[in-house]
Structure 1
Amino acid sequence: MMRQIWRVMAASGGMRRALALAVLVVMAGVGLLMLSGWFISAAAIAGAGAVFDVFRPAASVRGLALIRTAARYGERVLGHDATLRAVAGLRGAVLAGLGALPWDAMQRLRRGSALSRVVADTDLLDGLPLRIVLPAAAGAAVLAASFALMVWLADWQVAAWVVGCHLIATLAAGLWGLRRSGQVAAGAVAAERAFRSHALDLIAARDDLAVYGQLDAQIDRAMQAEARACRANAVLEGTERRVAMAQELARLAAMAGALVLGAQAQLSPAIIAMCFFAGLALAEATAPMRRAVADWGRIRDAASRVAPMLGRPAARIAPPQPALPLIVDGIRIGPGQMLGLQGRSGAGKSTLLSQIAGLIPPTAPITLAGRPVQDWSEAELRAVLTLVPQRPALIAGSLRDNLALADPAATDARMQRLLDAMRLPYPLDHRLGDGGQGLSGGEARRLAIARALLRKPLILLLDEPTEGLDAALADVIMREILLISCDISVVAASHRPCDLRAASAVIRLE
């Protein structure tokens, strides 16, 4: 699960540079303290009048300080840049997975749940490179390099003690903390998710909740979820503090052991001081574990929801295949022809349209270019046909934004001609609210028809295209649709016989 997510995030690039700089930052810090401790001790032991080269060690100290500062700046810039690009790539993969869901699964997916996966969960997963992978890899590299350096300059026992104290304490406290935080974090994330859901419902349905006397109850549910989240977060913070305490005790043990073991090994005071300050400095390599303990549970919980979505192939727009003639229950429809579906409300007109669109399994023989509709892939079907349902989906933004969903390269002139044809007296910059607020039901449907015509599908499926319009306007709209779609096949479902006057064939549903 984590490996799959890491592959997606690492594919965005920049992680190796960020890791190299993270290692350089910690190594420069450790080297700076070790060299400073040796330099000060060696200079004190040399005493006044002794020949002692102060220039090269002093220059090295200044050089390490400059390297550390520059590397820290670069690590912050490149590390966060790589993480932001990784999150953007992960978010795109999640959106592709959501777009590839089967129609029935997409219909069951709540908007709040989908939004949480795309935004909240992917934002939590930025901690995977920032607080888990890069710090762990950098810390391991620095501990190994420091061990080798102290074995070379001092004694292997001293090196083993200094590095071992940090490593063992960090692993032990980290494993305990990760197990404990993993149990609590799931509850914290669930409570935070419940609070967001209750808050969104409170905002979206405030008037209805007030009318039915449920406003106070909804506020209470939101606040109870917030209280649960606060309690769980307090436990996580306590766990983080305990891990930090264990690491501080390990640092003290490493520093004390460096003095004792260095004296037993009869090392020079300057070398002992160097090992002493190494024990002090190596805490920087293991310090990220305390933050990782607090965040690991949330990261793992978010990954459990995101990873299954990444396993789905991203939907790709397939090149249009020959799709005509369309044959529905033995009735053949070719280019420039219209098939009418007529019947009372509830007779199954919308169901048959969904079957033609491949959204639900067909109950009657339906073929496109001689192939049963169920044999067409999702990408192939979307490339050749477009369905305009009774309640079309519109987005908040301008009319241009809504039309551009069908063809981002379409010119303003072409978009405006379609708006005029659908008798929509608005400019392209006219703004809509969430879900198309600002338009009547009939105007929203006509905007969706204009968007479908802009796409130029081979087969256009219309569900009650003139519902709510007077007879004169309905007749104009149907004429414009047939005029613009003169070279494609149209299937229109309507309970109004006047809408189907131009139909080449009509299927009457009872």
Structure 2
Amino acid sequence: MSNFIRLLRLCRPHYKAMLLGVFLTVLTVLSNVGLLAISGWFLASMAAAGIASTQMNYFTPAGIIRFLAIVRTASRYGERLVTHNATFLLLSEIRVNVFATLSQLNNQQLAMNRSADLFNRMQNDVDALDKFYLNVLLPMLVALVCVPIVVWIIAGFNPAVALICLCGILLVGVGLPLLLNKKLSRSAAQQIKRSAQLREILSDTLSGQRELAIYQATEHQLAKCNEVQKSYNALLDKRHQALADSDGLSLIVVQLAMLASVVILVPLVQLEQLPNVHLAMLSLFVLASFETVLSLPSAFIQLPVALSAAGRIFALHDMLPQAVDMPLDTPLCATPSVINPTTQGVGLTVQNVSYQYANDPLTNALHSRPQAISEHYALQNLSFSVQANENIALVGASGSGKSTLVNLLSGLWPEQQGDISFNRQVNEPNTNDISVMAKTLSFEQRSSLIGILAQQHHIFDGTIADNLHYASPEASKTQMIQACEQAQLGQWLQTLPNGLDTRLGSAGRRLSQGQSRRLAIAQMLLRQPAILVLDEPTEGLDNQSKQAVMEAVMHAMRYSTVLCITHDPALLKSMDKVVWLEDGQVKGQASHQALLTEHQAYVELITRV
């Protein structure tokens, strides 16, 4: 039930379109019921008038019939247009919500789910919800509105017939759906699970074709695929059989209700307690009244599938950390255009931070038995501070903890022990400096403070301007060109016939590695983050452009705090301080020249690397 309520909350932004769809559907159903009932009365009246050789006014009922036919046609067209549009709006709302949730999960939470399963939730589970409004919610709302109206009108002619009609409607619209829902609720969850398993095993099969061929295990893998496929097909057959059974049972109930109405009405006509023309009208009225609930069995069959898919989607959202958001207008979270960069900057303090992968829930989940606590720490009691607008280099051999530290700063890995805090120094009278713990910031606020230029970056299938706008949506054409020139892309950009509108292809396949790296640098130059983390920024650049690019970066980021992971001696010379890491601990903090003079191991490190 909670998943149903959460789905209704997702419908809230588009409730007007959905309510309009309900109104048009109700109008269509009532017009169809009235059209069939009045047509029955009209034909019976014309026959009775012909037998009695009397005259009757056929213009008025004929006009009413034509009016109802026009209303039914127009409302049916409007209902299809509005309800399908509302369905697409809801589907887009769900897709954006799922993608936004995935984008906020950290590395640990993402790694706890297989990529094929995440893709299944983004596509198959969302697709299972595209019929929630049209085939589940809409029939329920229409039945709640139409059934009382129809029963009330029939009761005005004959209460006994109205009672029979109501009992039949309750049996078709409530009893049968509840029975089917109970029968299929467990298989619906299994169907979603089998669908996810099938996608996962097919994905593994496709990605591991070479290994399967080498070890001659292709037939065994295909047999596993067939086994999962048969299980999934069996669940689908069970659902389709339930749909067929519901249609057959509903038809039987409708015919029995109509027959019972005729049995009640015929004696009343013979006793002349009821006009004979009302026999045809009420019989057809009862028959048409079931249109208000005929789609409910199908709705209740699809409801468990939709709720199971919704549960898998909402499970991702429930994994998000409950951060205590700082007000967006606080000086710490203010944008660079709001603050004065020459007097305000953001510093960083890392105090007694430890991180141990062996104690991580992900590591424990990968083993069937509890693992003994390892004594090895990726980071152990790590402490250092970075002043605002200071340039710091992180140096260390592979496995010294540099990447772990960056993941903790960005929030991609959750903090275990120790504290990481950001502080803004405000050089104004009667104003205290602001310090905020990193764990209390939301993902968006932390991303607005920190910009990371990683070794691996993605270029989207779009134009150069599109990719630059991802970093700064408000950037003008002049600003984008300036950023490209600072990243040493200016001459290349001038040779392109379409300039910034040049498409880069999937994953930037039209760019060389160096050009892709420079474009990532241009994106970071546009962002102007308060804290910039550079992970081997000159990787993939030739010696000629390396120095020019870094000079442009350091000049553009002169009002930012820079944390640079590098072993390039030329870059190390330009840093204010070097933090030397070894085995997750700080082995030394000093200028590059001082470490060269005092530590031979440091000389060997930067020379070897």
Query: Is it true that 1:246 corresponds to 2:249 in the alignment?
Result: yes
Select 1:237's aligned residue among 232, 240, 251.
240
The within-5 A match list for 1:263-302 is: 263-265=266-268, 266-302=273-309
How far off its partner does 1:6 sit?
A: 1.2
How far off its partner does 1:445 sit?
A: 4.0
1:368 maps to: 423
Answer with 305-314 or 173-182: which moved more.
Answer: 305-314
2:109 maps to: 105
2:462 maps to: 397
Aligned residue identity for 1:324: V
How far off its partner does 1:211 sit?
A: 5.3
Answer with 302-311 or 54-63: which moved more.
Answer: 302-311
Alignment partners' CA distance in 2, 1:113 and 1:410:
37
How many percent of aligned residue pairs carry the same amino acid?
A: 26
1:168–1:126 CA distance, 2 compared to 1 (3 A): same
1:486–1:272 CA distance, 2 compared to 1 (3 A): same
Alignment partners' CA distance in 2, 1:162 and 1:56:
28
1:311-360 CA-partner distances (Å, limit 9, x unpaired): 6689999463465233454544332x310111212212222333333444
1:74 maps to: 78
1:491 maps to: 563
1:122-142 CA-partner distances (Å, limit 9, x unpaired): 222122211112112212322
The Cα RMSD (Å) is 2.9
Select 1:507's aligned residue among 560, 568, 579.
579
Alignment partners' CA distance in 2, 1:124 and 1:41:
47
- Normalising by structure 1, we get a TM-score of 0.89
1:21–1:264 CA distance, 2 compared to 1 (3 A): same
> Is the 8 Å Cα contact of residues 139 and 299 (structure 2) preserved in structure 1?
no
How far off its partner does 1:439 sit?
A: 5.0
1:159–1:442 CA distance, 2 compared to 1 (3 A): same
How far off its partner does 1:363 sit?
A: 4.5
2:67 maps to: 63
The within-5 A match list for 1:334-483 is: 334-335=388-389, 337-359=390-412, 360-361=414-415, 363=418, 366-369=421-424, 370-424=435-489, 425=492, 428=500, 429-434=502-507, 436-437=508-509, 439=511, 443-483=515-555
1:86–1:375 CA distance, 2 compared to 1 (3 A): closer
How far off its partner does 1:256 sit?
A: 0.7
Answer with 484-493 or 211-220: which moved more.
Answer: 211-220
Aligned residue identity for 1:289: L
Q: How many residue pairs were aligned?
A: 507
Alignment partners' CA distance in 2, 1:364 and 1:498:
32
Select 2:154's aligned residue among 134, 150, 157.
150
2:99 maps to: 95
> Is the 8 Å Cα contact of residues 330 and 365 (structure 1) preserved in structure 2?
no
Aligned residue identity for 1:5: L
Select 2:348's aligned residue among 326, 329, 336.
326
Query: Is it true that 1:255 corresponds to 2:258 in the alignment?
Result: yes
Select 1:130's aligned residue among 128, 134, 151.
134
Which secondary structure does the structure 2 equivalent of 1:192 belong to?
helix
Alignment partners' CA distance in 1, 2:207 and 2:469:
27
How far off its partner does 1:489 sit?
A: 1.6
1:63-82 CA-partner distances (Å, limit 9, x unpaired): 11111111111110111111
- Normalising by structure 2, we get a TM-score of 0.76
Which secondary structure does the structure 2 equivalent of 1:77 belong to?
helix
Alignment partners' CA distance in 1, 2:11 and 2:215:
46
How far off its partner does 1:243 sit?
A: 0.7
> Is the 8 Å Cα contact of residues 318 and 379 (structure 1) preserved in structure 2?
no
Stretches of structure 2 lacking an aligned partner (at least 5 in a row): 335-343, 351-382, 425-434, 583-609
1:24–1:210 CA distance, 2 compared to 1 (3 A): same
Which secondary structure does the structure 2 equivalent of 1:53 belong to?
coil
Alignment partners' CA distance in 2, 1:298 and 1:127:
10
Alignment partners' CA distance in 2, 1:135 and 1:259:
28
**Per chain length, whose mean CA-contact separation is higher, i.e. which structure has more relative contact order (CA < 8 Å, sep 6+)?**
1
> Is the 8 Å Cα contact of residues 331 and 505 (structure 1) preserved in structure 2?
no
Alignment partners' CA distance in 2, 1:212 and 1:422:
48
How far off its partner does 1:246 sit?
A: 1.0
2:122 maps to: 118
Alignment partners' CA distance in 2, 1:502 and 1:257:
94
Aligned residue identity for 1:386: G
2:201 maps to: 198
Aligned residue identity for 2:5: R
Stretches of structure 1 lacking an aligned partner (at least 5 in a row): none
How far off its partner does 1:509 sit?
A: 1.1
Select 2:162's aligned residue among 155, 159, 164.
159
1:174 maps to: 177
